[in-house]
Chains A and B, each alone.
Chain A
Amino acid sequence: MNIPLISKIAKNHLLSRIKQPIVAALGVMFGIGTFIVLVSFMTGLNALLDGLVLNRTPHIHIYNEIEASEIQPIERKLNPSEIANVYSVKPKRNLQRIANVDALQRELLADEKVRGISPQVSAQAFYMAGDVALNGIINGIDIQQEMELFSMGDYIVAGDPTQLNYLDNGIIIGKGVADKLLVDIGDRIQITTPNGGVFNLKIIGFYQSGLAEIDNIQSYVNIKRAQILLGEKSNYITDLNVKLHDMDDAPEMSRLIESYRDISAVTIQEANAQFETGTSIRNLITYAVSVTLLVVAGFGIYNILNMLIYEKMNDIAILKATGYTGADVQWIFIFQALLIGIVGGALGLLLGFGLSVLISQIPFETEALPTVKTYPVNFSPRYYVIGIVFALVSTFFAGYLPSRKARSIDPVEILRGQ
């Protein structure tokens, strides 16, 4: 096949009827442009929504499930044949603590799949303001690790979180809590603990995750302060939040941890199964809309090529009479379809990119998403590659059927008809 020759003939045919190919190319352009805009915007939004939860969710969350021991101490002292009846079994308070936490941390950090660990001490408390006592959860955290591993910094909407490093009586409170208590940064806040302790802490920052049920109860202090709130020693850690390099390794690691330790290790996959579904449905919609648009554009190309073939019947007969094969003629028309596809597709990419840039500059501010100022748009080149491939494949198929017809045209019939 002589490609320059075939493409020259194809080009001449298109240029002779330039209006219709332009209309067809515009169809492809809008199809591809819409695809790019939709997919960039949708995936941008997906990343934002996923990030909202997934960034904050440890890949493996290690903690002690509170449950009564299956084997009571007395049973260990008995022979299997003897019977001991223990009534009214209650869980032991101390069970919330992860046993041997230092050894566990060392083991985990030695694994090269682990990116880092953020230990936490979780404590229940009440925020006091005058008569009001608000139910709350106070987490003792290592602010450095939290910021590094779980982008904590993105969710501090006011104040300097790093003060938590050295201010033992500093507290970062949830924005929802702050709003209810009408407190500001620098103010003091009174905390009472279930076992009766009363503490006076200084507010150094506001935390806002965007999820109201968290922001209305959550506060952060440093680990040492949380241990003091609970009246515990410095080896008292209730949670280990593990971040891996690749979150797909989580299920396997979690199984390993649970196999040799009597402890719960919940993976991100278990904790957020519903997010995957949301993402895939949004993707499905995006592709469905784009495919529909391209199919419509494809019908346009199909029509125009059919018409062109009808118009160029004589040319086809001449070419065949002078030695061009059916395949040559078929390629001429496939080239025309591809030419429309390439031009329309390329323009579509430009259109899509332009609109995406525009959208990414539109202000988008919402309570729920404190760090987001404009609409989220994903500029991944992947979608541009998919877009152009999409354009070429769909125009190829739109051109294929008419081109088959051109291939099978019998020149004798055309010449005789004159």
Chain B
Amino acid sequence: MTKTILRTENVNKYFRKPVLFHVLKDINISINKGEFVSIMGKSGCGKSTLLYILSTMDTDYDGDLYINEKKVTGLSKNELAYLRSKEIGFIFQFHYLLSDFSVVENVMLPALKLGAKSKTDIRKDAIQKLEMLNIGHIANKKASKISGGEKQRAAIARCLINNPSIIMGDEPTGNLDSKNSQNVFRILRELSDEYGLSLLVVTHDHDFAGQTDRIIEMGDGHIIS
């Protein structure tokens, strides 16, 4: 039997300002372990909003969210922070590295916070992840001094550092040229195939989506398919 990594039960979300707006309507989805799932849908249909809820950053919703079959709805902010650092890796559309730190330090930061390993071990892990993504040579460069594609790969290395149960991405290739996009997609595909990682990625790119295991179609706050 396959294990469920992520599951929602009747998630609804409203924006109250500027006017009451029912943005997510009865969302019921589940992601199995090892699955590579993409979310597609028109601009403004609520994909990002859903992803923020699934990643536990947004707690203002109705319904229930389960991660590893454990209910996380209603946990305290600190418990959620711990959960995020342990179970969830997040890749943003805009690479979002901390520009005052070196690349390898950026990768290390979530693990240093989790504090499960010694600093030297974390550093070794971080270098290893960077090498896996073919950017080991820029480990000690300042994060503000590398290219966009490199930044996004460094961000992927960072989201892998704590060996999370699931990786989520909000248009991780949306800001990259087609060559770099393909590169990033290939990496994600590999992570799924070779390391059995679970992934949930929002994208507008049909080619990209076509190569994932499953596509979730969204429209106007509903799951269409």
B11 → A minimal CB distance (Å): 15
* Minimum CB–CB distance for B9 against chain A, Å: 21
| 0/1 string, B51-82, CB within 8 A of A gives 1 | 01001011000000000000000000110011
B52, B86, B98, B101: the one within 8 Å of A412 (CB): B52
Q: Are B92 and A323 touching (Cβ within 8 A)? A: no
B85 at interface, CB cutoff 8 A: yes
Query: Interface SS of chain A: helix, strand, loop or mixed?
Result: helix
| B33 interfacial by beta-carbon distance below 8 Å | no
Stretch at the interface among A110-118, A132-140, A221-229, A314-322: A314-322
| A418 in contact with B94 (CB, 8 Å) | yes
Interface residue from B81, B92, B97 paired with A325 (Cβ < 8 Å): B81
A328 at the interface (CB under 8 A from B): yes
Residue of chain A at shortest CB distance from B144 = A16
Give residues 183-200 of A contacting B (CB, 8 Å).
none
Interface residues on B, range: 20 to 34
Within 8 A of B (CB), among A399-417: 411-412, 415-416
B123 on interface, CB distance cutoff 8 Å: no
Is B14 engaged at the interface, CB distance under 8 Å to the other chain?
A: no
Contact A324 B113 (CB under 8 A): yes
Are B100 and A328 closer than 8 Å at their CB atoms?
A: no
Given known A-B contacts A323-B82, A323-B86, A412-B58, A318 and B96 have beta carbons under 8 A apart? yes
Closest A residue to B81 by beta carbon equals A325
CA–CA, A264 and B86, complex, Å: 82
Tell me which residues across on chain B come within 8 A of A256, comparing CB atoms.
none
- Interface flag for A33 (CB, 8 Å): no
Size class of the A contact interface (CB-based, 8 Å): 20 to 34
**B113–A5 CB distance below 8 A:** yes
Q: Evaluate contact between B115 and A2: CB separation under 8 angstroms.
A: yes
Kindly count the residue-residue contacts between A and B in the assembled complex, taking CB atoms under 8 Å apart.
Answer: 74
Name the distance in Å between B120's Cβ and chain A's nearest Cβ: 13
With A321-B90, A322-B84 known as contacts, the answer to whether A2 contacts B112 (CB < 8 A) is: yes
B153 lies within 8 A of chain A by Cβ: no
Is A97's beta carbon under 8 Å from chain B? no
In chain A between 309 and 366, which residues have their CB closer than 8 angstroms to a CB of chain B? Answer: 314-315, 317-328
A412 to B92, CA, bound (A): 11
Does B158 count as interface, using CB distance less than 8 angstroms? yes
B114 in the interface, Cβ–Cβ < 8 Å?
yes
Contacting residues, chain B, for A321 (C-beta < 8 A): 55, 57, 84, 90, 92
Q: Is the CB of A2 within 8 A of B96?
A: no
Q: Contacts A321-B55, A322-B85, A323-B84 known; A12 to B100 CB distance under 8 Å?
A: yes
Kindly name the residue among B93, B100, B170 whose own CB sees the greatest number of chain A CB atoms within 10 A: B100
Please indicate the chain B residues that have their CB under 8 angstroms from the CB of A109 in the complex: none
Quick one: closest A residue to B77, CB to CB? Answer: A326
The yes or no answer to A372 lying at the interface (CB within 8 A) is no
Is B110 an interface residue when CB atoms closer than 8 A count as contact? yes
**A13 CB-CB contact with B under 8 Å:** yes
The answer on a CB contact under 8 Å between A323 and B57 is no
**A13 / chain B contacts, CB cutoff of 8 Å:** 100
Q: Quick one: which of B57, B93, B100, B170 contacts A320, CB cutoff 8 A?
A: B57
Per-residue CB proximity of B85-108 to A under 8 Å, as 1/0? 110001011101111110000000
**A116: min CB distance to chain B, Å:** 66
Among A314, A315, A320, A323, which residue has its beta carbon within 8 angstroms of that of B114? A323
What residues of chain B lie closer than 8 Å to A9, measured between beta carbons?
Answer: 109
B57/A5 in contact, CB under 8 A: no
Measured CB to CB, the nearest residue on chain A to B85 is A323
Q: Which of B95-152 contact A (CB under 8 A)?
A: 96-101, 109-110, 112-115
| Distance in angstroms between the alpha carbons of A320 and B81 in the assembled complex | 7
Encode A1-38 as 1/0 by CB contact (under 8 A) with B: 01001000100110110000000000000000000000
Q: Which 8 pairs of residues, A with B, have the shortest CB-CB distance?
A: A323-B85, A322-B110, A16-B100, A12-B100, A325-B81, A323-B84, A412-B52, A412-B58
Known contacts A319-B109, A418-B93, then 7 further A-B pairs from the complex at CB < 8 Å, ordered by chain A residue? A15-B100, A322-B90, A324-B81, A325-B82, A415-B52, A415-B92, A418-B92
Contacts from B to A (Cβ < 8 Å) = 48, 52, 55, 57-58, 77-78, 81-82, 84-86, 90, 92-94, 96-101, 109-110, 112-115, 158-159, 162, 170
5 A-B pairs, CB-CB below 8 angstroms?
A16-B99, A321-B90, A322-B90, A324-B81, A418-B92
